[in-house]
A = this chain, B = another copy of it.
Amino acid sequence: MALIVQKFGGTSVGNPERILNVARRVIETQSQGNQVVVVVSAMSGVTDNLIKLARDVSPNPSEREMDVLLATGEQTTIALTAMAIAGLGKKAVSLTGAQAGIVTSETHTKAKIATISPERVLEALEEGNIVIIAGFQGETAEGSITTLGRGGSDLTAIAISAAIKADLCQIFTDVDGVYTCDPRIVKNASKIQEISYDEMLEMASSGSKVMQSRSVEFAKKFGVTFEVRSSFNYNPGTIVKEETESMEAVVVRGVSIEKNQAKVTISHVPDKPGTAARIFTTLATSGVIIDMIVQNVSVEGSTDISFTLSKDELPKAKAALEPVVKEVGASALHSQDGIAKLSIVGIGMRSHSGVAAKLFESLSAGSINIQMISTSEIKTAVIIEEGRIAEAANLVHEAFHLGQASA
Contacts and interface: CB of A to CB of B under 8 A. Distances in A.
A58 B72 contact: no
Given A16-B56, A54-B80, A76-B50, A86 B62 contact: yes
In the assembly, how many copies of this chain are there?
2
A69 B61 contact: no
A57 interface: yes
A82 B68 contact: yes
A71 interface: yes
Contacts of A75: 68-69, 71-72, 75
A143 interface: yes
Given A16-B53, A50-B76, A143-B99, A87 B58 contact: yes
Nearest to A19: B57
A83 B71 contact: no
A71 B69 CA distance: 12
A110 interface: no
A356 interface: no
In this complex, the member of A72, A78, A79, A86 whose beta carbon has the largest number of chain B beta carbons within 10 angstroms is A79
A325 interface: no
Interface residues on A, range: 35 or more
A25 interface: no
A51 to B, nearest CB: 11
Contacts of A53: 16, 76, 80
A57 B93 contact: no
Contact of A86 (B58, B87, B94): B58
B83 A54 contact: yes
Contacts of A20: 57
A65 B94 contact: yes
A48 to B, nearest CB: 14
Nearest to A75: B72
Contacts of A84: 57-58
Given A94-B68, A99-B143, A62 B76 contact: no
Given A16-B53, A82-B65, A76 B87 contact: no
Given A20-B57, A57-B19, A143-B99, A78 B82 contact: no
Contacts of A23: 57
B69 A76 contact: yes
A232 to B, nearest CB: 19
Best-surrounded residue of A56, A65, A87 (most CB of chain B within 10 A): A65
Contact of A69 (B62, B79, B86): B79
Contacts of A78: 68
Given A62-B86, A86-B62, A99-B143, A68 B79 contact: yes
Contacts of A163: none
Interface in A1-18: 16
A372 interface: no
A65 B79 contact: yes
A264 interface: no
A210 to B, nearest CB: 28
A59 interface: yes
19 contacts: A16-B56, A19-B57, A23-B57, A50-B76, A54-B79, A57-B84, A58-B87, A62-B82, A62-B83, A65-B80, A65-B92, A66-B83, A68-B75, A68-B78, A68-B96, A69-B80, A69-B83, A72-B76, A75-B75
Interface of A: 16, 19-20, 23, 50, 53-54, 56-62, 64-66, 68-69, 71-72, 75-76, 78-84, 86-87, 92-94, 96, 99, 120, 143-145
Given A65-B82, A69-B80, A72-B79, 13 more contacts: A16-B53, A50-B76, A57-B84, A58-B87, A60-B87, A65-B80, A65-B94, A68-B78, A68-B96, A69-B76, A71-B75, A75-B75, A96-B145
